[in-house]
Amino acid sequence: MKTIFHLDMDAFFVSVERILDPSLEGKPVIVGGDPHGRGVVAACSYEARKFGLHSAMPIRNAFKLCPHGIYLHGHYKEYVRYSNAVKNLLEKKLPVVQQASVDEFYIDFTGCEDIYGSAPDFAAALQKEIADKLLLPCSIGIASNKTIAKIASDFKKPKGITYVEPGKEKEFLSPLQIERIPGVGKKTFPILRARGFRTIGDLAESSPDYLSTLLGKFGTDLWEKANGHGNDILYSEQERKSVSKETTFDEDKVSKHEIENYLFELTGKVGQLLRNEEWQAQTISIKLRYSDFETITRAKTLTHPTDDDKIIFETARSLFRNAYTRRVGIRLIGIHLTKLNHFFEQEFLFDDEELIRKRMLRAVMKIRDKYGFSSIQIGKSGIE
């Protein structure tokens, strides 16, 4: 049986902001931008959570609950820098580290007991080292698989360590509320509650066939998780699965032309991200959120992967025009690229015009990297 750690940074964005500005310590801090705008809370301190704030909450609602809070736009580059620092520290100590997000890491501790001692003792030492060297607090869950380790890391936040001993997985999970299971969200939760499920133990005592009838394949997976089963395979180099950008408008938009201009700008940004990482994308998706909060997505998979802004934009614009059928304002638009592949330029694959354009895009990338994204703009039919 394996020993898996889930290391979750506590209020990570806020913790980094407090390193940058120590005067924020002990105060209700909310990262997410203008409290009178239309964005959402990206992160909030534990002092702010006492007022009912939480991640993904509309920031206007957060301001109503906590008007005296300190609202920040955030410093994403700094978050990435500190995230990389945590990853580097972990990789120097352990053979297999999988980064799940900017502030979450899985560690395979199996077989390391002879080097570091017991898993809980090593977790305590690791937690202290991260705090001492990087000034960042974290919580750690330890279990036989990734799902339970993730649930355990959230059990005693902040700065908690929770060890679920092998064979006691169901005992640990049984009294917990069903929403503790990753994936039980706004859509699934009311369905389960309406049928009398309150705790994870309730799910475990149900039948997999019933949950499958209720929720499809996710129902079967849910039953497995409730009974303490889960994936214990980690990958030391987890490739990026997607690139995305979205914007929430200050005022609802109804003009297709105006919305397409925003979509064009977002396309330039995701295209730049692709080229920076030497990726190409094959599936292009758009996301629309109407003023009544109805959200729809549309996607198209191309014959060949691309990093060309023109191709990405034309595909996204076509998806948008086919999707925007209601006479209701648009609150948010986003673009999402998946099925990513590493770019490998073999000149004989391209005709002269296409090769010239690809080289042009990389020249644009270098200029933007040096002077900023807005230093040069790609028009819908060339360079502006």
Catalytic residues: 104
d(C-alpha 350, C-alpha 348), whole Å:
5
For 64-100, b/e burial (b = at least 16 CB within 10 A) is eebeebbbbebeeeebeebbeebeebbeebbebbbbe
d(C-alpha 160, C-alpha 46), whole Å:
14
The structure tokens listed for 167 are: 């064979």
Q: Which of 254, 251, 192 is nearest to 226 (CA)?
A: 192
The structure tokens listed for 308 are: 């060309």
Task: Please list the alpha-helical segments (H only) found in the chain.
Answer: 12-20, 46-49, 59-65, 76-93, 113-116, 119-134, 146-153, 169-173, 188-194, 200-205, 208-215, 217-226, 256-277, 309-323, 352-371
Q: Which of 147, 109, 107, 110 is nearest to 238 (CA)?
A: 107
Contact yes or no for 199/177 (Cβ under 8 A): yes
Q: How far is CA 357 from CA 226, 314, 352, in A?
A: 52, 16, 9
d(C-alpha 99, C-alpha 95), whole Å:
13
